[in-house]
């Protein structure tokens, strides 16, 4: 899909943008200096290059502007009111929300269009990078050598800063693998997709993240229901490679479940939820704070964290966290943004909507029990990918409408000319 404006970028500029996209995909699960570099350099490069700047300006009124109003303006209002009442200086929170939730997704979509990175290529890049994280996470767990020096109690995290975001990345990569499997035309592609899905499922279970496992299982069932007609059209030989690979995966999972440490970790994690998780205490604690400023909320620096250890716990719920930071106005705006993205994807003819919708649904489910859309880089990263696909879809729909309008105008003019000639004759 191309914009009505051709960016006319040089080959060097295109490769530079591709490098920044790949660097961001490689580093957003781990934070760090390289992540910060790609996070800021990619939008700045899009703004600096004339072609991409013009392209971004074309779609900003219906991409960047709505994202800013819905996801960033409530945080800014909350910050301004707090500064006026507490007589203190501004924090970087509103700027960070704008950059990560509005400008970066818009710049990512623009950079992909300008550099020729299709939505499918973006998914392939994500899978390759997720496989790297999956292998390091599983190896560090099996060798009992945490890469970051922190013991997560038999839970896999690898290079990622926490097992829960690691589980989310593995769940998202599983959905992408299944999406590519259902669209694969060759047996080799099917085999690779199934192997990737098998590794990601094992890694997701090894993370011990209940929210990631719940989101993955639920979303996978919905994906299969969505594709049930396509599955009915498969011939028996089409199932040969997937079923063989799934059989190997089942044997592998059965072996893992026989291992004491692996089984004990999963049992403890899910039995804790049935007995009553600490999240209930966390949510009660933060709901009391939210009730004190229900309309506009407070900046994160004014919110007392749940006392636990040295740093305390966050809200462990993106909706409650949004309610705390920007009140009912911010929470409503977030839900409107999610609903708008769903509406755009459903209305579009973009085939990649069949992966964007499951990824968004996974985020919504995962967010019920963990994370923050304002401070969790893993959630922000996957959300940026979903938004970039939605922006692709929106631009494509607008181009189709423009072509249809031009076609109707041309037909009307041609009809008018014929009528005039007939009358003259």
> What distance, in Å, lies between the first and last C-alpha atoms of the chain?
46
Per-residue buried b or exposed e for 145-175, using 16+ beta carbons within 10 Å of the residue's own CB: eeeeeeebebbbbbbbbbbbbbbbbbbbbbb
Question: Is residue 202 in some structural domain?
Answer: yes
- Read off φ and ψ for residue 10, nearest 5 degrees: -70, 160
Token digits of residue 312: 């305390």
| CB-CB contact of 301 with 272 (8 Å) | no
Dihedral class, residue 235 (left if φ above 0, else alpha if ψ from -120 to 50, else beta): beta
Token digits of residue 13: 């500029």
Question: Is residue 194 in some structural domain?
Answer: yes
DSSP structural state of residue 306: B
Report the half-sphere exposure of 421 (CA within 13 A, side-chain side): 6
Residues in the chain predicted with pLDDT less than 50, given as ranges, are 1-5, 259-260
Residue 130 to residues 112, 216, 334, 353, Cα–Cα distance (Å)? 19, 15, 27, 21
Dihedral class, residue 158 (left if φ above 0, else alpha if ψ from -120 to 50, else beta): left
Question: Is residue 55 in some structural domain?
Answer: no
| CB-CB contact of 372 with 417 (8 Å) | no
How many C-beta atoms surround the C-beta of residue 407 within 10 A? Answer: 10
* pLDDT at res. 346: 92
* pLDDT at res. 225: 78
Question: Is residue 150 in some structural domain?
Answer: yes
374-399 pLDDT per residue, tens: 989 999 999 999 999 999 999 888 88
DSSP readout, 78-114?
HHHHHHHHHT----SHHHHHHIIIIIHHHHHHHHHHH
Rounded Cα distance between 253 and 274, Å, is: 23
285-299 pLDDT per residue, tens: 999 999 988 998 988
- The secondary structure of 371-421, three-state, reads CCCCCCHHHHHHHHHHHHHHHHHHHHHHHHHHHHHHHHHHHHHHHHHHHHH
Question: Is residue 417 in some structural domain?
Answer: no
Token digits of residue 215: 């989101």
Residue 133: give the domain boundaries.
Answer: 120-276
This model's pTM is above 0.75 = yes
CA proximity to 278, closest of 370, 406, 203, 342: 370
For the chain, the domain total comes to 1
Question: Is residue 179 in some structural domain?
Answer: yes
Q: Where are the alpha helices (DSSP H) in 146-301?
A: 163-183, 187-207, 210-226, 228-232, 240-258, 260-275, 278-292
Question: Is residue 353 in some structural domain?
Answer: no
Per-residue buried b or exposed e for 288-302, using 16+ beta carbons within 10 Å of the residue's own CB: ebbeebeebbbbbeb
CA proximity to 300, closest of 152, 79, 108: 79
Question: Is residue 84 in some structural domain?
Answer: no
């Amino acid at each position: 899909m191309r914009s009505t404006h051709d960016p006319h970028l040089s080959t060097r500029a295109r490769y530079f943008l591709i490098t920044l996209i790949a660097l961001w995909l490689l580093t957003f699960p781990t934070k760090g200096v390289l992540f910060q570099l790609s996070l800021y350099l990619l939008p700045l490069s899009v703004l600096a290059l004339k072609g991409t700047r013009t392209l971004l300006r074309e779609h900003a009124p219906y991409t960047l502007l709505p994202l800013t109003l819905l996801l960033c303006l409530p945080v800014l209002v909350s910050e301004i009111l707090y500064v006026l009442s507490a007589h203190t200086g501004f924090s970087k929170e509103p700027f960070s929300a704008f950059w990560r939730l509005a400008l970066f997704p818009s710049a990512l979509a623009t950079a992909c269009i300008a550099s020729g990175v299709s939505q499918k290529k973006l998914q392939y890049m994500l899978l390759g990078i997720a496989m790297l994280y999956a292998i390091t996470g599983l190896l560090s767990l099996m060798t009992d050598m945490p890469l970051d020096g922190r013991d997560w109690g038999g839970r896999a995290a690898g290079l990622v800063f926490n097992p829960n975001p690691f589980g989310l990345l593995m769940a998202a990569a599983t959905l992408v693998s299944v999406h590519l499997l259902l669209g694969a035309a060759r047996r080799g592609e099917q085999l690779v997709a199934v192997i990737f899905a098998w590794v990601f499922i094992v890694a997701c279970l090894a993370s011990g993240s209940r929210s990631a496992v719940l989101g993955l299982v639920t979303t996978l069932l919905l994906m299969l229901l969505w594709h049930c007609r396509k599955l009915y059209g498969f011939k028996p030989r089409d199932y040969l490679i997937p079923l063989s690979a799934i059989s190997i995966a089942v044997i592998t999972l059965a072996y893992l479940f026989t291992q004491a440490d692996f089984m004990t970790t999963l049992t403890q994690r899910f039995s804790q939820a049935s007995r009553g998780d600490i999240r209930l205490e966390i949510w009660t604690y933060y709901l009391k704070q939210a009730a004190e400023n229900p309309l506009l909320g407070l900046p994160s620096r004014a919110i007392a964290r749940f006392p636990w250890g040295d740093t305390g716990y966050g809200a462990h719920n993106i909706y409650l966290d949004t309610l705390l930071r920007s009140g009912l106005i911010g929470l409503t705006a977030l839900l409107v943004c999610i609903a708008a993205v769903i509406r755009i994807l459903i209305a579009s003819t973009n085939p990649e909507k069949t992966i964007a919708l499951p990824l968004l649904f996974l985020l919504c489910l995962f967010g019920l029990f963990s994370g923050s859309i304002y401070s969790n880089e893993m959630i922000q990263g996957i959300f940026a990918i979903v938004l970039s696909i939605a922006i692709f879809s929106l631009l494509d729909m607008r181009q189709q409408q423009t072509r249809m309008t031009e076609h109707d105008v041309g037909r009307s003019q041609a009809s008018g000319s014929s009528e005039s000639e007939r009358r003259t004759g």
